[in-house]
Amino acid sequence: MILLNIVRYFVGGLIESPLILPQLFATMEAEPAYFATSFETLDWVTSYFYNFMMWLAAVWVYHLVRPVLTGHEVLRSLKVFGLMWLFFASVSAVYMNHYSHSKWLYFWNVLDAVVVFTIVGVANGMLYPCLMNRRSESVR
């Protein structure tokens, strides 16, 4: 999980930074009554914790359904991470209808999620067999 979070922030950050984050942050800064744009230590800690839990949930679902999936390991992982992205996007859309701030926030947030769920899904498909095979060999 820690490796996936590292991939999420370092690889994802390289793609998000020029393509999505300027628009996402501009949308947030345009509505300061709704969004805190200057984080303190506790804000960063909770943000990283929430992200960790989201990726943990995706990997857990992957681990549970992996035996019934077909295809290359990366394709299997993308199937699950695609489903988890759909759930994330759906929950975001539900919340979008309950707030009066700009709906562009959700557009940029869901687009960002396409990028990071894809990156983390590919990384998971590449790392999972290596890490889990080593773990199962050490348990024997």
**Chunked mean pLDDT (size 10), the chain, 140 residues:** 88 94 91 83 92 94 96 97 97 86 88 97 95 59
Say what the pTM is.
0.88
Predicted pLDDT at 140: 41
Question: Cα dist. 5→35, 48, 51, 59, 72 in Å?
Answer: 24, 9, 8, 12, 22
pLDDT at residue 112 in the model: 96
Measured between alpha carbons, how far is 129 from 38 in angstroms, rounded to an integer? 39
Q: Give the total number of structural domains in the chain.
A: 1
- The domain of 128 spans 2-139
According to the model, what pLDDT value does residue 99 have? 81
The reported pLDDT for the residue numbered 111 is 96
